[in-house]
Structure 1
Amino acid sequence: MSRRPSRREHLTDSEIEAIVLAAVPLRKAIQRCFMTLKPFNETYSLLDEHVSRLDAVLQKITGRSIDYRGPDLGLLPPKPNGP
């Protein structure tokens, strides 16, 4: 019998960067929806829960804490300044 492949995958740095770059605009769009909802509304709570889960996933795959002050939430390494 052949051995089953492992379920654990290792993402490359470029894959992690692509995920973060796709997730940040999604997160911003969801948060823009908050402005039209009343707090403690069912939809508001659901969206808040999804943003929290998205933040947790992003923190886990990048291994960094979210810095809400940065444009990329502080999840991407700083780009080196070219000569």
Structure 2
Amino acid sequence: MGRPSRREKLTDSEIEAVVLAAIPLRAAIQKCFISLKPFNETYTLLNDHIGRLDTMLESITRRKIDYRGRDLGLLPKSLGRP
């Protein structure tokens, strides 16, 4: 028996709660990019954090992020916003 994955430890409602909390956080971090020049230290740091957050969201939801939607395509249709 292997070590259980993070997905096996989280319930569906816990995953939804994480995604619902992470989406506004991700949006706030991206808004910070507007005032920064590309390739400076803060810009690079924020970009790395967004990448790590996206990786974490993809791993717990087992879905690829759809950047076109407000909920990034990670929430079930019943919870997705119009």
Normalising to structure 2: TM-score of the pair? 0.85
Query: Are residues 1:11 and 2:10 paired?
Result: yes
| Structure 2: gaps (5+ residues) | none
Count of aligned pairs: 75
Query: Are residues 1:57 and 2:21 paired?
Result: no
| Structure 1: gaps (5+ residues) | 1-5
Q: Distance in 2 between matches of 1:37 and 1:54?
A: 20
Q: Distance in 2 between matches of 1:38 and 1:49?
A: 15
Identity %: 65
Normalising to structure 1: TM-score of the pair? 0.84
1:63-74 aligned at under 5 Å gives the runs: 63-74=62-73
Which residue number in structure 1 is paired with residue 22 of structure 2? 23
Q: Over residues 12-45 of structure 1, what are the superposed CA-to-partner deviations in whole Å (9 max), with x where a residue is unaligned?
A: 0000000000000000000000000000010000
Moved >3 Å (runs of 4+)? 6-9
- Between Structure 1 and Structure 2, which shows a larger proportion of helix residues? 2
